[in-house]
Structure 1
Amino acid sequence: MERDTLEFDAVILAGGRSSRLGGIPKQSLVYDGTSLLQRALDAAGGAAGLVVVGPESGVLPTGVLSCREDPPFAGPAAAVGAGLAALAQTGHARPFTLVLACDMPNVAAAVQALAKAIQPQETGMAGSDGVMAVSPDGRLQPLVGFYSTAALQRSVQDLASRGALTNGSVRTLLASLDVQLVTVPAGSTEDVDTWDDAAALGVASQEPRPGS
């Protein structure tokens, strides 16, 4: 597999409660005139199959799938599982799956760095299950990574069999995977959890902020 022919699907996570934003969906926030959801979709633009996991968020581009974790708000592990199941129904699962949260306005630079770094590995070699983003100051961002689709599916099945998929964390989901950490450009994995984060990143809301 050559770098320029990386075959992957993408799961975009857009189903959080946005509790620290007063319930305003993160995917609807706007940066440089574009919604954060659209920026995530653009960052994953090389994906052969693409699914957005979360509540209905308007018209999606042609070919982009939509689904919801069950039950809603069951956490990122359940959301990844729902996304993988939706992609599997197309009958064309790719070797890698890009897992990407929709709350990072500059994430395209991180995705590009990961795509350049990923290499085909033999079973048992370090990093054989994919690559995960880490910021220059050492902060891991598991919701920006290319992961082995087969390894993710096994992990989802294992957690589900133990009743641990619902409300499971993404770190728990990825704990059994052997991934390589890749340092990505500064600021590319900065996310929006609070209005202070949004202000610092230049992200705005098209809806009135609660209490404003």
Structure 2
Amino acid sequence: MEFDAVLLAGGRARRFGADKPAAPVGGRALVEWTAAAVAGASRLIVVGPRRDVLPGAVVVREDPPGAGPVPALRAGLAEVRAPRLALLAADMPFLRPAHVARLLDAIGDRPGAVLLDGDGREQWLAGCWRPAALREALDAYEGASLRGLLGPLDPVPVAVPGGARPAWYDCDTPEALAAAERLL
């Protein structure tokens, strides 16, 4: 199934206090872990500053840099060529290709599919979408909330087993990064 991947790897990382996607866990940068989950993508599009860890990736910046996920999605979506895309945060060390495949399969004839966390909440930066649906939604959207943009598209909710290393786990704080290191 042909798809492109858009990794959101910019932002200000206020809670993290450093370049979060470049932070190492298990000997690899967080962004490398997320990129490995979409290794089957036709194109890897990284929205954020250029880093030397993903050769071959298309790197773009949101305008202005650090403006948030909606402008970042807009910038990444401009580079998408495939009929489907994986939209992911760049700080998910336990997301695997099987999870992405499950999201892609779940889309069916809907606009998208989004991963649910262990409490049943949508993880808006862990989903797969039809680019045309996202472009249409972005054209009509003036807000700043990713949930406000994606929620009305009524994506298919996808639950996966949690376990010790849940697919939706993200590293938003140094403490979460340290916990991910222990879990690896």
For normalisation by structure 2, the TM-score amounts to: 0.89
For normalisation by structure 1, the TM-score amounts to: 0.78
In structure 1, what residue type is equivalent to 2:177? A
- SS of 1:10's equivalent? strand
> Which residue in the other structure is 1:177 paired with?
153
- Are positions 1:158 and 2:134 aligned together? no
> Which residue in the other structure is 2:177 paired with?
198
> Which residue in the other structure is 2:120 paired with?
138
Q: Which runs of 5+ in 1 are unaligned?
A: 1-5, 88-92, 122-127, 204-212
- Are positions 1:39 and 2:28 aligned together? no
Which of structures 1 and 2 has the bigger CA Rg?
A: 1
> Hey, what's the Cα distance between the residues in 1 that align with 2:152 and 2:10?
24
> Which residue in the other structure is 2:89 paired with?
101
> Which residue in the other structure is 2:45 paired with?
51
Q: Is the 2:37–2:95 Cα contact (8 Å) retained in structure 1?
A: yes
Q: Is the 2:107–2:129 Cα contact (8 Å) retained in structure 1?
A: no
> Hey, what's the Cα distance between the residues in 1 that align with 2:25 and 2:124?
22
- Are positions 1:66 and 2:55 aligned together? no
Identity value in percent: 40
CA RMSD of aligned residues (A): 1.7
- SS of 2:15's equivalent? helix
> Which residue in the other structure is 2:168 paired with?
189
- SS of 2:124's equivalent? strand
CA deviation after TM superposition for structure 1 residue 12, in Å: 0.4
CA deviation after TM superposition for structure 1 residue 59, in Å: 5.1
What are the Cα deviations for residues 103-160 of structure 1, in whole angstroms up to 9, with x where unaligned? 1110115324323x42532xxxxxx11210002331321101111110001111112x
Query: How many corresponding residue pairs?
Result: 178
- SS of 1:42's equivalent? helix
- Are positions 1:26 and 2:8 aligned together? no
Alignment CA distance shift 1:111-1:185 (3 Å): farther
